Homo-oligomer: A and B are copies of this chain.
Amino acid sequence: MAGNTFGEAFRVTSAGESHGPAIMAIVDGCPAGIELNEEMFRNDMDRRRPGQSEFTTQRKEADEVQIMSGVYRGETTGTPIGLIIPSTDQRSKDYSDVALSYRPSHADYTYDAKYGRRDPSGGGRSSARITSAAVAAGVIAKRIIAPTVTTGYVHTIKDIEADIPLEVTEAIVEQSAIRCPDPIASERMEALIRETRKNRDSVGGIVECIVDNMPVGLGEPIFDKLEALLGYAMLGIPAAKGFEIGSGFTGRLEYGSDHNDPFTLEDGKIVTTSNKSGGVQGGISNGMPLVFRVAFKPTATIGKEQQTVNNQGQLDTIAPAGRHDPCVLPRAVPIVEAMAACVLADLTLRDRASRI
């Protein structure tokens, strides 16, 4: 029942499957008067699309966004923005084996159990391809929340943890094919992913995202806390298994007296001297940068043979032949940013509705 719509005031509705003719998105609630054209989608769509580097799946998708409505003479009109991303590389043959055997830790079995049927071509609605709709919506969201900026990057691959510089920008992140702003770690990550691909295996890791120039006051005390909506958004990304904000899972290691962020004044503005809160207190942004992390498991679809069961209820083995990512993290970076931007655009517009 109706799980494909995201947001209240800035509302993204998505449709489309991995090997269908197109992915669709309808973005409702975007105010009129925001500059928008098809070119503006290019950068983030390119950062997400497959085949962009040796570290991602070699499947090719142009991922070109076509605007169907809601834009007139280069500006949004206030009416829903209809977006279409046509598929250019529909090779469903690769997936012929998949029809029968359930790929471990993939959605094959749960889809069959839930819907009683399933398009075996490439994961249908569970495919990473679906995230192109979110990235496209995120491009619009980023324009709404400007000058607030979401900057994602790869923080960890397997056990290789990056040393994150104090200042991170998209330009710095994009210097690394892995999207890791630590050049030394990035090289080691590249080597690990190359090796992993050779072994027909996969690895996971952590994407971190920082949001700068945050306004104060976004988020609701209950239930729509800013961190709750961010967590919801991030855990909706394929392969995400965890979310934490600020000190997250390690904040517990300190006493409260050390963990609390003392308030102080900076140029007359109230700030905190540390940011273990990650920019959120009581569910509401406090103006400090948002800092959150998303854990991604190793890609479920690997080339190695694995034990499984088929849709006839028989034991079986499987070694999928399709083109897959040995590591989704580099491509996950723009998705994390896009979903964060959508949450913030939604809360920005909702915030306006809460004023007299």
- A21–B130 touching, CB < 8 Å: no
**Shortest distance between the CB of A262 and any CB in chain B (Å):** 4
Kindly state whether residue A321 has any CB partner on chain B within 8 Å: no
- B244–A124 touching, CB < 8 Å: no
CA distance A185 to B12 in the complex (A): 46
* Contact residues of A between 203 and 235, Cβ < 8 Å to B: 203-206, 216-217, 219-225, 227-235
CA distance A159 to B144 in the complex (A): 42
- A222–B33 touching, CB < 8 Å: no
CA distance A209 to B70 in the complex (A): 33
Q: Which of B4, B349, B351, B355 contacts A28 (CB 8 A)?
A: B4
Q: Which of A44-52, A57-65, A303-311 contacts B (4 or more CB under 8 A)?
A: A303-311
**Shortest distance between the CB of A200 and any CB in chain B (Å):** 8
**Shortest distance between the CB of A248 and any CB in chain B (Å):** 4
* Contact residues of A between 231 and 265, Cβ < 8 Å to B: 231-236, 238, 240-249, 251-257, 259-265
Kindly state whether residue A147 has any CB partner on chain B within 8 Å: no
Task: Indicate whether A114 sits within 8 Å of B309 (C-beta atoms), given known contacts A105-B261, A249-B295, A255-B203.
Answer: no
Contact with B along A114-129 (1 / 0, CB 8 A): 1111110001111000
22 contacts between A and B (CB under 8 A): A3-B222, A3-B223, A9-B9, A13-B13, A15-B82, A16-B82, A24-B24, A78-B117, A79-B125, A105-B277, A110-B282, A114-B284, A124-B221, A202-B255, A228-B236, A232-B232, A232-B235, A241-B246, A246-B297, A264-B307, A349-B354, A353-B353
